[in-house]
Amino acid sequence: MQKIVLQLVYCVAMRIVLRLFVGVRIKRATFLLHEKQFIIVANHNSHLDTMAIMASMPRQLIANVKPVAAMDHFGKTPLKTRLSNFFVNTLLIQRKRDKENPENDPIHSMIKALDQGYSLILFPEGTRGEAEVEQPLKPGVGLVLSQRPLVKYVPVYMKGMGKAMPKNDNLIVPHNATVVYGNPTAIASLEVRDIVNQVEQSLHSLRDAL
């Protein structure tokens, strides 16, 4: 049931809305079909980021990809939690680490989801920043990848989303935007710091190619 809803919402409705009205240029990321499992790492400026990445997913994958989102924002109330989990297929995590209770630990929940076979969408910048301003990456992506080194990461760079729907204004004003995918990449080192740097490099090279 949820799979059909997700397919209708993202592969049909969201694609039309984003392309026609918001002005996002999306290409379908069909190459992801060849990957068994992946973590999409993207820059983050807008709620539309998740929508655009989900809308570019191939239909077959959509139910298998979980956007990682902050519990304190998308899980404020039980209703909000259920809505996010159903309509956005989110994996809600705490922002802060909690090593004593693995159930609440964000790194642990992400690894658990990977072990269950899900792919993830991760915004390592954390919260949405100001439009077109990059923030330093948080180490979470490195921690997860260093523990599951066989999973590849896919860098995604988005431009213009923060102009269409920025952080402090929930009114969507159409603005041309682009989503570009990089190639699935394996990590080159098991060091958390190195992984974060590698991911940052990949994002920068996508940005510079735009």
Say whether residue 175 binds other proteins (CB under 8 A): yes
Q: How far is the CB of 130 from other proteins (least distance, A)?
A: 8
* Smallest separation (angstroms) from other proteins to the CB of 175: 5
**Residue at token pair 């069909």:** 30
Pick from 5, 17, 25, 113 the residue near other proteins by CB under 8 A: 25
**What CA–CA distances, in Å, run from 104 to 26, 71, 77, 81, 110?**
35, 10, 17, 15, 11
Does 129 interact with other proteins (rule: CB under 8 A)? no
Contacts of 119 (CB under 8 A, 6+ apart): 35, 37, 38, 39, 40, 61, 64, 65, 66
166 makes contact with other proteins (CB under 8 A): yes
Query: Is residue 124 close enough to count as binding other proteins by CB under 8 A?
Result: no
* Residue 160 in the binding site for other proteins (CB under 8 A): yes
Length of the chain in residues, anyone? Answer: 210
- Only segment of 7-15, 42-50, 161-169, 193-201 that touches other proteins (CB under 8 A): 161-169
